[in-house]
Amino acid sequence: MTDGLAVATTLLARLTRGDGHAADALTPMLYEQLRALAGSLLIDERPDHSLQPTALVHEAYLRLIDQQKVDAEDRAAFFALAATLMRRILVDHARARKRMKRGGGARRVMLRESRAPGVHPPEEMGVDIELLDTSLARLAEVDDRKARLVELRFFGGLEEPQAAEVLGISRATAARDWRFAKAWLAREIEQASRGSEDTGKGDSGGKAKDQR
């Protein structure tokens, strides 16, 4: 095992035991891995770019961690941290693109929930990443567990049983939380989108009046 694998695996075990310093050390290592893996895909300029977080997170896991030396709790801690960092990477990327385009349109990415063959077709959600991030922060104020479940599924790419394991809840509870969270976010995002459209129309009307 290389020194890098040994260090990351040790840090992950310490993180599971509640060592805050281990999180500080492991986070930049994992962030750089995920950013590098996602970067080769996000460079694509297609507005409906499809991204599968599962593949990226699992690849980072294989590269960073000695899988034979981690237990279930360590693995859960890894995927929880990876989901949070993947969310940050995608939001940062969307903001950077918006700055480069000088505000010329929001970045929409198709996020796949699952890639497991033979289980069910992978669902996709085409959203403005910044809008999803903001709505998810609001959901966390209402129910943090449900927000973490969404983060694990959309940004960590975990399926429902895996996400339930990470959160330490039953599959039935995860299923209920998932239904609630999807409905809540859909309503929140729709309302926010309508608000943006109304604001844009109002600005256009104001400009028209000024021109007259």
Compute the residue count for the chain.
212
Identity of the highest mean pLDDT range in 62-66, 162-166, 169-173, 185-189? 169-173
Q: Quickly state the pLDDT bin for 122 (edges 50, 70, 90).
A: very low
CA torsion sign for 174, 78, 66, 116 is positive
Distance CA 155, CA 116 (A): 16
Q: Quickly state the pLDDT bin for 120 (edges 50, 70, 90).
A: very low
Residue 116 has pLDDT above 50, yes or no: no
Residue whose pair of structure tokens reads 């939380």 in the numeric block: 177
Amino acid, res. 142: V
Residues ≥6 apart with Cβ < 8 Å to 87: 133, 136, 151, 155
| Cα angle value 134/161/158 (rounded, 5°) | 45
Q: H or E element: which one contains 155?
A: none
Q: Give the single-character DSSP code of 74.
A: H
pTM, entire model: 0.75
Sheet holding 108-112, edge to edge: 50-51, 108-112, 124-128
Neighbouring-strand partners of residue 125: 111
